[in-house]
Amino acid sequence: MSISKKEIYLLAFSVIMIVLASGTAILFSVSFMKLFFGSSILYLFLAVVYYWVDSRGYWNNLGRIRRTFYLLFLILISVGFMTESISYLNWQQVITFVAMAVFADLAIFQTPHILSIWNTVFVQENEVRDALKESRQTILMNAKKAEKFSEVIQNTDIHFDEMPFPVSGKEYEQQMEEYICLYSGVFGFAITIFLFPVLESKKEKELHIDKTLKNISIRHAHQMTEDDREQLAVELSEGQIQVLQEDRLIAIPYFGNYYSIIVTVEAKDVAVDPIDASHVSSLLYIFDWYMEGID
């Protein structure tokens, strides 16, 4: 993976800062311990700054950042040996320095991942919090959707009371949209209904659906290849609901007593999901059943 200019500048700045700090420490006869901890803390601080400035770049280059940290550690330990600040015979002290470096690596660089520290698995707190919050919102939204769907079902008799049978495809489409919008309108979904005749031939049905998919592509600015349309036409002709854009656009087929129908449900503020597709599909069946009763 290539490194951007910004990342090169940041790396160069880090090296320069550490070299300046080390030079200053040597010039003013700063003790090895102060040099070791000062350089390590400075590097870790710059790494955290890099994370806040460009988190994507940080994750992409985390391996390089860690290797550089360990290289800095080895250089500082070597300086300690050369200046006799660390004794070759005092392995307890050397092991202590190594343990601190490893702990800093785990605590700073690897904390956002699933870690194994002292054989205990930790998950980044923010990720868990966000996941729980998202799950809670999803559960609450699904409960609201189920509640609204039940309300529409309960009021269906009132809605169709004394409703005349539609005398044209346009009236049929308008009445169907009004009924579906009792549910979809609450969540801000945009409903588009595409009607075509009831056809017995599977080939003719697929051709009409392919034509409808072209209109859907234009209506919703959704790109489809010819192969995509052919596959979708086959699956829609078999009555399979299709997710055209995750959380954004769903196509629902229904082949009724009077018309063949493809309904698209497009999300605005609230994501559209398979639960919505199931509810809208059920409303299509109910609507057509009531139309048959009126007729």
In a domain, 162, yes or no: yes
Show the domain range for 204.
134-294
Residue 75 lies in a domain: yes
Same-domain status, 66 and 161:
no
Q: Do 34 and 94 belong to one domain?
A: yes
Where is the domain boundary, 88, 122, 156? 122
Domain final residue pick, 122, 146, 177: 122
- Tens digits of per-residue pLDDT, 12-55? 666 666 666 566 655 656 676 777 787 788 888 888 888 788 77
pLDDT at residue 128 is higher than 60:
no
**What's the total number of domains in the chain?**
2
Q: Are residues 83 and 146 in the same domain?
A: no
Q: What is the pLDDT of residue 10?
A: 60
36 and 113 belong to one structural domain: yes
Confidence (pTM): 0.57
CATH number at residue 244: 3.30.70.2720
Residue 254 in contact with residue 288, Cβ under 8 Å?
A: yes
How does pLDDT run across 181-230, given as a tens digit for each residue? Answer: 999 999 999 999 999 988 878 888 889 999 999 999 999 999 999 999 99
For residues 144 and 113, state if they share a domain: no
| pLDDT tens per residue across span 244-254 | 999 999 999 99
